[in-house]
Structure 1
Amino acid sequence: MCRKKMAVDAVPPTPKQPSPRHHNNHRKQPSNSGKSSPSHNSSTSFDPLTTQNKPTSNFTSSSTSHSSRHSLSSLRSSLPENPQLYDISEIRSATNNFLAKSYSAATTTTSSSSSSSSRCWRCNLHGKDVIIFQRKSHNELRPSSVRQKLSSICRSHHVAIVNLLGASISGDCVYLVYNFISNGANLQDVLHNKNNPGFTVLSSWMSRMQIATDLANGIDYIHNNTALDVKFVHNRIKSSSIIVTEPSFNAKICHFGTAELCGEPTEERDCDDFGGNETPKVVEEIIDEESSSPKKLTRSSSVKFNGTTGYMSPEFQTTGVGTRKSDVYAFGVVLAELLSGEEPVKYKYNKATKEYMKMSVVDTARAVAEDSGGEGEGRLRKWVDVRLKDSYPVEVATKMTRLAVECLHVDPYRRPDMRRVAGKISKLYLESQVWCDRMKIPTDFTVSFAPR
């Protein structure tokens, strides 16, 4: 029986010319099998597969094209959209004609959400979870200028900056639409928990270094690395404008683009940005007040600054013009706040004088930096947040304090550039990581913002 089977297997192929279809099948066989088999049985068993190869290939290619279309659509949805200049009717519809409850997390990004000129709503717009801020416009902007600015701002993307999706203008109000960050809380609430002042989720040194690194890189990007001709100024750096996300405690900067779109006076701003060859309104008010000195200064003619107490640089308090150097000063305040765990400004009651004394984190940081080194190490340890439980590299903390004081210099020209600040903090972050590895301190644990 074996001989008979071998005889059948050894039958050579017929010399008859195969049909074109069979010829193609025989040409495909070597590419699939790698070499020709001497077995007729294997050849015959292969033929049905080759006859079904064509429809299977069609099905596979169809499936592949379908999956590729799906991956392309998912990729397209993940890419940033073009900036949108929303119609005011869309904003009204999303906020229920502005009757929806204002977002209460102060909050998340603004300390003046209760003001009628600065409110915010969390809502759904075009199928996205967004937060809409209402801001007062300082100058009448031309639609073409707004569209150009919006396009420049929305083309700027950084992992440490909350994306601006679009804006809308109605009367003297500007409505700014940002992505809503759901998995985090603002730095002010994280550091200064009024319900439990002795607790913070930022109880490790590396978590605070992570936030400082993210902030420095984000501001450096805004000032120097947007790859655009526009020189951006944030003008709203403060702890309530910074979102700390869990579980990795990364920081995100809010309100990027507000200063430009609201027409706030900043450095290197052209008169064309204000709708023509006109002087900005703030400057006009200053001129009127100076020229009419006998007049009594009234509330309606005074100049309002969009600053927050404790974060305004000396020159900003004088001129009201935001600059990159005033951003550096505000960052120095946040850095000192991050190191000490103290609020920028607070009042302490003195029992002896029976008066309230103003305590500034800027003044205490300068005093600590002057005494740092040697015997001053004890003062540094008293100043650094006690909730860190004295578990941090003292040398790195000293360098971070000195860097914060450099940013807080009274002379704006002696403050460092954010590129230099970001480079220094990145280096100190690596030194802190080496210290943690040497001390065997765990850095991969997670803490939730949610209540227990």
Structure 2
Amino acid sequence: MLCSDAVAVRSRSWAWSQRERAMCKARSSSDSDALASPRPAAAPSSRRSSSSSAKRRPAAAAGVSTSSPSTSSYSGAAPSGTGTGTGTASAQRRGTTSSSSTSSASSSRASLAAARASLPDPPVLYPFQELAAATNSFLAKRAGGSGSSSSAAYWRCSIRGRDAALFQLHPRPGAAAVDAAALARIGRYHHTSLARLLGACPAGAHLYLAYELPPGAATLAACLRSPRNPSFTALRTWVSRVQVAADVAQGLEYVHHHAGAVHGRVSPSAVIVSDPGLRARLTHFGAAEFAAPADAGESPYATPGSSEPSREADVYAFGVLLLELLSGEEPARYRFDRGTKEFQRVSVLETAAAASAGGSVRNWVDRRLGDSFPVAAAERLVAVALRCAAAEDRPDMTWVAGKVSKVYLESRAWEQKVQVPDEFSVSVAPR
């Protein structure tokens, strides 16, 4: 029966298509022998059925249709050529799987390398001679403040190929020495609202801290007020100022509730604003551990009656900084009183509280913004700042950051709605 089946296959092979004849031509002589001689019963085959099945289905056992020769088609198992193609396809699938695995592994390594590159380098202790060489023996002109004793002043220099801002601070009395362990404890935190600490140099009666300085960056104090041109400000739009306030609030919230520390030196001189985007970053993070507060007892950012760093003191300082952002004025200034013919010290807290109580926040906001700001948002921010600077029951930075971020989102929606121009503003009513 197997021999007759083989003859039937050969007699119908002339009706196959040209492609099938080419495929059959590639069959080896071993396949013909397999058709002519019976296989052992124990040997399994996926291309041929057993001899008992061939007896029950004489024509179909060899995989040949019983239709006419002109329309006959191969409906059984694939010839050896097709089997070879199947094996090639399997090899291709295995190759594709291997290629995909290799690509996935390469992508994982690239992602890991990118994640490692985004982490800050551990800060180092710089020798005093290296900082002196970078600043021309500390005789180079400072930026960000007026006078060599100003806490806002810093040196713009290059340290080991990086643009840096070098600040000079006074150490805390009885503070622990600055060593590699202290710097590693400070530099292990990484957040977009915190400036990257490059290193420190304790030298005698001063402490030097170096931070990475992005191109076109300056302190917030320099962005708000220019001694040469009082009418100029880099933060000329409402959204840019709320953006800075939100960045500082989120940075302090991170310091308090994620790093488990306090800042202790919140002021415009400790905030670096970089371009593009005018994003703000906090410097001096961790300096409260071994640096004295700026002008302790006299700083307008210090809590009245206390100069010790704490979370409540940071919240108070942020409230003053927020009012300074909104008004554009210094937190404390002297104004000549024509009645008494004397100069009186005026605090931004006092003017903001009077404006909020009298409903004149619109007139109190920095005039360099024109009228290009939402008055309701400004009133809410003034209320948040006054609550931060309250004598008691101050909120935590989580609440403050949430309120400021909400106003920022509302301000962005307002800006897109009214499409505020950058070059000029239009006043709809006298201020």
Instruction: State the TM-score, normalizing by the size of structure 1.
Output: 0.66
> How far did residue 219 of structure 1 move?
1.3
Alignment correspondent of 1:10: 24
**Which moved further from structure 2: 423-432 or 134-143?**
134-143
Which residue of the other structure, out of 293, 296, 314, is the alignment partner of 2:304?
Answer: 314
Aligned to 1:115, what secondary structure does the other structure show? coil
Alignment correspondent of 1:132: 166
Given that residues 10 and 38 in structure 1 are in contact (C-alpha distance below 8 angstroms), is that contact kept between their aligned partners in structure 2?
A: yes
Aligned to 1:251, what secondary structure does the other structure show? strand
Alignment correspondent of 2:282: 253
Which residue of the other structure, out of 82, 99, 102, is the alignment partner of 2:136?
Answer: 99
Per-residue CA distance 1:35-72 (angstroms, 9 max, x = gap)? x997969x79x99xx99x99x99999999988876665
> How far did residue 364 of structure 1 move?
0.3
Instruction: Name the CA distance, whole Å, in 2 between partners of 1:329 and 1:182.
Output: 31
Instruction: Name the CA distance, whole Å, in 2 between partners of 1:11 and 1:139.
Output: 97
Given that residues 167 and 177 in structure 1 are in contact (C-alpha distance below 8 angstroms), is that contact kept between their aligned partners in structure 2?
A: yes
Alignment correspondent of 2:193: 160
Aligned to 1:200, what secondary structure does the other structure show? coil
Instruction: Name the CA distance, whole Å, in 2 between partners of 1:330 and 1:223.
Output: 14
Determine if the alignment matches structure 1 residue 398 to structure 2 residue 388: no
Instruction: Name the CA distance, whole Å, in 2 between partners of 1:340 and 1:134.
Output: 28
RMSD: 4.2
Higher relative CO (Cα under 8 Å, sequence separation at least 6) belongs to: 1
Which residue of the other structure, out of 393, 406, 412, is the alignment partner of 1:433?
Answer: 412
Alignment correspondent of 1:151: 184
Alignment correspondent of 2:45: none
Given that residues 253 and 398 in structure 2 are in contact (C-alpha distance below 8 angstroms), is that contact kept between their aligned partners in structure 1?
A: yes
Unaligned runs of 5+ in 1: 18-35, 266-303, 448-452
Given that residues 266 and 317 in structure 2 are in contact (C-alpha distance below 8 angstroms), is that contact kept between their aligned partners in structure 1?
A: yes
Instruction: Name the CA distance, whole Å, in 1 between partners of 2:322 and 2:411.
Output: 16
Alignment correspondent of 1:276: none
Determine if the alignment matches structure 1 residue 81 to structure 2 residue 121: yes
> How far did residue 352 of structure 1 move?
5.5
Distance 1:120-1:113 versus aligned 2 partners, 3 A rule? farther
> How far did residue 339 of structure 1 move?
1.2
> How far did residue 73 of structure 1 move?
4.6
Distance 1:58-1:401 versus aligned 2 partners, 3 A rule? closer
Given that residues 146 and 261 in structure 1 are in contact (C-alpha distance below 8 angstroms), is that contact kept between their aligned partners in structure 2?
A: no
Aligned to 1:315, what secondary structure does the other structure show? coil
Instruction: Name the CA distance, whole Å, in 1 between partners of 2:126 and 2:410.
Output: 50
Distance 1:140-1:446 versus aligned 2 partners, 3 A rule? farther
Instruction: Name the CA distance, whole Å, in 2 between partners of 1:427 and 1:58.
Output: 49
Instruction: Name the CA distance, whole Å, in 2 between partners of 1:362 and 1:307.
Output: 17
Counterpart mapping for 1:180-259 below 5 A: 180-226=213-259, 228=260, 232-259=261-288
Distance 1:211-1:63 versus aligned 2 partners, 3 A rule? closer
Per-residue CA distance 1:383-403 (angstroms, 9 max, x = gap)? 112222223222221121112
Alignment correspondent of 2:55: none
Given that residues 369 and 405 in structure 1 are in contact (C-alpha distance below 8 angstroms), is that contact kept between their aligned partners in structure 2?
A: no
Distance 1:59-1:176 versus aligned 2 partners, 3 A rule? same
Aligned to 2:229, what secondary structure does the other structure show? coil
Instruction: Name the CA distance, whole Å, in 1 between partners of 2:176 and 2:232.
Output: 49
> How far did residue 342 of structure 1 move?
1.6
Instruction: Name the CA distance, whole Å, in 1 between partners of 2:126 and 2:273.
Output: 32
Given that residues 236 and 307 in structure 1 are in contact (C-alpha distance below 8 angstroms), is that contact kept between their aligned partners in structure 2?
A: no
**Amino acid of the residue matched to residue 262 of structure 2?**
V
Aligned to 2:133, what secondary structure does the other structure show? coil
Instruction: Name the CA distance, whole Å, in 1 between partners of 2:106 and 2:234.
Output: 46
Aligned to 2:245, what secondary structure does the other structure show? helix
Given that residues 169 and 206 in structure 2 are in contact (C-alpha distance below 8 angstroms), is that contact kept between their aligned partners in structure 1?
A: yes
Counterpart mapping for 1:28-67 below 5 A: none
Which residue of the other structure, out of 390, 394, 407, is the alignment partner of 1:415?
Answer: 394
**Amino acid of the residue matched to residue 382 of structure 1?**
N
Instruction: Name the CA distance, whole Å, in 2 between partners of 1:355 and 1:87.
Output: 49
Distance 1:166-1:393 versus aligned 2 partners, 3 A rule? same
Alignment correspondent of 2:336: 349
Per-residue CA distance 1:208-253 (angstroms, 9 max, x = gap)? 2211111111112222221x4xxx2322222232222222222111
> How far did residue 159 of structure 1 move?
1.2
What's the % identity of the aligned pairs?
36
Distance 1:356-1:246 versus aligned 2 partners, 3 A rule? same
> How far did residue 380 of structure 1 move?
1.7
Per-residue CA distance 1:311-335 (angstroms, 9 max, x = gap)? 232123xxx3232222222211111
> How far did residue 153 of structure 1 move?
1.5
Instruction: State the TM-score, normalizing by the size of structure 2.
Output: 0.69
Given that residues 23 and 81 in structure 2 are in contact (C-alpha distance below 8 angstroms), is that contact kept between their aligned partners in structure 1?
A: yes
**Which moved further from structure 2: 69-78 or 191-200?**
69-78
Unaligned runs of 5+ in 2: 1-15, 32-76, 425-431
Instruction: Name the CA distance, whole Å, in 1 between partners of 2:351 and 2:402.
Output: 25
Alignment correspondent of 2:354: 367
Which residue of the other structure, out of 298, 317, 337, is the alignment partner of 2:324?
Answer: 337
The higher radius of gyration belongs to 2
> How far did residue 162 of structure 1 move?
0.7
**Amino acid of the residue matched to residue 257 of structure 1?**
G
> How far did residue 87 of structure 1 move?
5.0
> How far did residue 15 of structure 1 move?
5.1
How many residue pairs match? The answer is: 364
Distance 1:261-1:112 versus aligned 2 partners, 3 A rule? farther
**Amino acid of the residue matched to residue 249 of structure 1?**
L
Per-residue CA distance 1:111-155 (angstroms, 9 max, x = gap)? 477139997444444443333333332345555x74443232212
